[in-house]
C-alpha cells in the first residue's frame, strides 16, 4: 500500500514553521515511515507535484504567489495551512495599514515598485479553499504532530476553542494582567500551552482571536493598567489585522488619527 504523498510549501514567512516539522525529532522517523514527502525545499533537492496533502506556510503577498498557491491547491486533495503568516497573515498583515506603493517606498526608497506586489497581504484562505489551519508563531510541533497523525488516520483533528488564559491557569503561571502587563491571553485561541506567559512574555495573539472574543472588556481592563485604546488596537493589529473583530477598531483608529492630523 503506497504512503500518502506530502508537499511542504512556503510563501512570505521566516519559514520557522517548516523547521518545526523537522524539529519533531523523536517522532519524525516514525512519521516519515507513514508518509512520503515529495516536495520540501527546506529538506530535499528533488521535487515532485504528485502530492495528496499540501502543508502551506506564509502569507500571499504577490500576484505570483496567487498563481502558485492556486496551482498547489489544484494538485492537492487536502491543503493545510501552518503558522500565523498563512492563517492570519501574521506580522506581514501590518503592511495593509498603508497602500502597497507607500509600504514599498518606505522599505525600498531607492528601488522601483515591483508591479507583482499585491494590493493587500492576504491569508491563504482568502485565495484558495483551505481544509485545516494550524495557527501560531511558530506552530506548536506537538500540535502539528497531532494534526498529521489524525489526518493519516482518516479523522478530522480538533483544536482547542478556549482562551490561552485556561492553559495559563492550569500551568500555575502568575497573571500578567494582575502585574499590570498587557496580555491578550483572554481573547486568543489556546493550544500553545501558554508558552509566552510561562516565560513572563505577553500573549500577543499569534494563534488568532476567539470568535466572540471579549475585546472591549479587555481594552477597558488595559485602560486601567495605563494602556491607551490606540496602543491596544495597534498591538492587536500585529497578528490579527485581518480579523473581522479587529477591522472596525482599526478603522476607528484611522479616523482618530486623521482628526488629530487635520
Predicted pLDDT of residue 1: 64
Q: Bin 231: left if φ > 0, else alpha if -120 < ψ < 50, else beta.
A: alpha
> For residue 116, how far is the Cα from the chain centroid?
23
Whether the pLDDT of residue 61 is over 70: the answer is yes
Spatial CA neighbour of 127 closest among 176, 67, 85, 210: 67
Tell me the pLDDT tens digit for each residue of 161-188: 999 999 999 999 999 999 999 999 999 9
- DSSP string covering 174-205: PPTTTTT----TTTBB--STTHHHHTTPPP--
Tell me the pLDDT tens digit for each residue of 194-249: 999 999 999 999 999 999 999 999 999 999 999 999 999 999 999 999 999 999 99
pTM for this structure?
0.91
Q: In the block, which residue shows the cell 491543503?
A: 79
Tell me the pLDDT tens digit for each residue of 78-91: 999 999 999 999 99
Whether the pLDDT of residue 261 is over 80: the answer is no
Tell me the pLDDT tens digit for each residue of 13-35: 999 999 888 887 677 767 778 88
Check: CB of residue 203 under 8 Å from CB of residue 197: yes
Spatial CA neighbour of 35 closest among 9, 3, 64, 57: 3
Predicted pLDDT of residue 115: 94
Amino acid at each position: 500500500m503506497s504512503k500518502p504523498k506530502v508537499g511542504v510549501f512556503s510563501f512570505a514567512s521566516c519559514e520557522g514553521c517548516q523547521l518545526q516539522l523537522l524539529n519533531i525529532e523523536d517522532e519524525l522517523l516514525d512519521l516519515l515511515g507513514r508518509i512520503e514527502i515529495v516536495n520540501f525545499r527546506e529538506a530535499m533537492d528533488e521535487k515532485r507535484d504528485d502530492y495528496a496533502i499540501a502543508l502551506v506556510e506564509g502569507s500571499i503577498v504577490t500576484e505570483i504567489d496567487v498563481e502558485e498557491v492556486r496551482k498547489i491547491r489544484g494538485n492537492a486533495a487536502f491543503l493545510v495551512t501552518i503558522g500565523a503568516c498563512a492563517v492570519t497573515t501574521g506580522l506581514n498583515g501590518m503592511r495593509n495599514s498603508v497602500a502597497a506603493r507607500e509600504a514599498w517606498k518606505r522599505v525600498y526608497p531607492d528601488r522601483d515598485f515591483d508591479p507583482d506586489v499585491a494590493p493587500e497581504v492576504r491569508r491563504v484562505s482568502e485565495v484558495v479553499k483551505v481544509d485545516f489551519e494550524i495557527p501560531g508563531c511558530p506552530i506548536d510541533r506537538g500540535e502539528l504532530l497531532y494534526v498529521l497523525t489524525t489526518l493519516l488516520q482518516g479523522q478530522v483533528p480538533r483544536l482547542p476553542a478556549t482562551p490561552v488564559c485556561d492553559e495559563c491557569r492550569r500551568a500555575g503561571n502568575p497573571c500578567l494582567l494582575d502585574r499590570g502587563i498587557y496580555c491578550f491571553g483572554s481573547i486568543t485561541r489556546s493550544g500553545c500551552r501558554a508558552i509566552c506567559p510561562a516565560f513572563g512574555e505577553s500573549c500577543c495573539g499569534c494563534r488568532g482571536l476567539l470568535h466572540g472574543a471579549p475585546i472591549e472588556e479587555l481594552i477597558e481592563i488595559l485602560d486601567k493598567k495605563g494602556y491607551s485604546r490606540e496602543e491596544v488596537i495597534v498591538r492587536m493589529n500585529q497578528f490579527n489585522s485581518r480579523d473581522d473583530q479587529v477591522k472596525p477598531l482599526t478603522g476607528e483608529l484611522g479616523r482618530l488619527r486623521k482628526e488629530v492630523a487635520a
